[in-house]
Structure 1
Amino acid sequence: MHLKQYKLFGIVLLTLTLAACSSTEEKAASIIDQSQNAGAVVPADGATTKGYSDEADIAGTELSAEELGAEFSDPQSLLSKRTIYFQYDSSQVQQDFIPVIAAHAAYLLQHPNYKLVLEGHADERGSPEYNIALGEQRAKAVSRLMEAQGVPPAQITIVSYGEEKPAVDGHDEAAWQLNRRVELVYEGVK
């Protein structure tokens, strides 16, 4: 590992440690408070914009893997992984996904004209309001890690779909596991 990678890993580890220190009560209160913003688009700076009922209102020009670069199509590259999965009822980023998030943060820093939409999702368990809030908390967790690595908040947008856009249909743990996620969608000028 290069010195730069060690520093980046240290920053990510520190961020996770600080995030883990927040109390369960604060997290629960935050999720409950955010449920009032169901269906909202949340820029990374935390401001909530209501009234987006049509995806076209928030969608930019999505970039394909080919437009982003060869590393997005290479299965050996961390950039080819654009889905971050979560444990049941959790918005804590798992250790396995820290290097993936770090790679995407570094890419964004090298490409300031690109924006990243973090789409938060949940499985079907829980109320629709709770799942919107949980999807938002998951997307915010990824955003915080990227911002800790220097990505400007203006380059990140958070959207929560809750349980509304499952990756797979099904009513068992195998399906639920794939539906608890944040998808990384790049937008920019083609």
Structure 2
Amino acid sequence: MRMKFLALAAVALLAACETAPKDANTGAASNSSSIRPGSQEDLAVNVGDRVFFGLDRYDLSPEARATLDRQAKWLQTYGSVTVTIEGHADERGTREYNLALGERRANSVKNYLAAKGVPANRVKVVSYGKEKPAVVGSTEAAWSQNRRGVTVVD
């Protein structure tokens, strides 16, 4: 009898493992195939839509270049997609300084994508400086998430 119980428990556990995960908002089973190819969600989930920069820097790290390599390939796959690169900075520094730094970061991303074969006329840039933080807070952890370039599908 104990073996039957253990066998039933094992079957129940395996069945639970094969159940599709539920969406936290709707309770419905989530399905990654519901992502529309060539969309912002596709870019963010399957490629990565942002790169990060060091303090007062706009040069691309090896991790950023790897993300941008994937973005360039994705943009070549979806040849009709145009994007805007948003340049962002952390809260330190003046508004003017951070707007200029955000623009240098966005242009750094655009230039890298162009060097990888993405036509420059498909990529616009905009700087938000410190005006749109991804993470609110005055800590290095927050600042490091705010020093970024974000690729947004138009």
Normalising by structure 2, report the TM-score: 0.72
The two structures, once aligned, show a CA RMSD in angstroms of 2.1
Are 2:113 and 1:143 aligned?
no
Give the 5 Å matches for 1:69-108: 72=42, 77=46, 79=47, 81-108=48-75
Are 2:36 and 1:67 aligned?
yes
Conserved? CA contact 2:76–2:118, under 8 Å: yes
Distance 1:68 1:179 in 2: 27
Distance 1:138 1:186 in 2: 18
Where 2:101 maps in the other structure, the secondary structure is: helix
Conserved? CA contact 1:105–1:149, under 8 Å: yes
| Structure 1 counterpart of 2:8 | none
Distance 1:115 1:69 in 2: 10
Are 2:89 and 1:122 aligned?
yes
Pair 183,146 (structure 1): closer, same or farther in 2 beyond 3 Å: same
Moved over 4 A (4+): none
Distance 2:132 2:97 in 1: 15
Size of the aligned set, in residue pairs, is 120
Give aligned-pair identity as a percent.
38
How far is the alpha carbon of 1:69 from its aligned partner? Answer: 5.2
> If you compute each CA radius of gyration, which structure gives the higher value, 1 or 2?
2
| Structure 2 counterpart of 1:154 | 121
Q: Residues 49-93 of structure 1, C-alpha deviation per residue, up to 9 Å, x if partnerless?
A: xxxxxxxxxxxxxxxx92235993796x4x1x1110000000011
Distance 2:65 2:87 in 1: 17
Within the candidate set 136, 139, 153, 1:169 is matched to 136
| Structure 1 counterpart of 2:98 | 131
- Structure 2 unmatched runs, 5+: 1-33
Normalising by structure 1, report the TM-score: 0.59
Pair 138,73 (structure 1): closer, same or farther in 2 beyond 3 Å: closer
Within the candidate set 139, 144, 149, 1:182 is matched to 149
Conserved? CA contact 2:43–2:71, under 8 Å: no
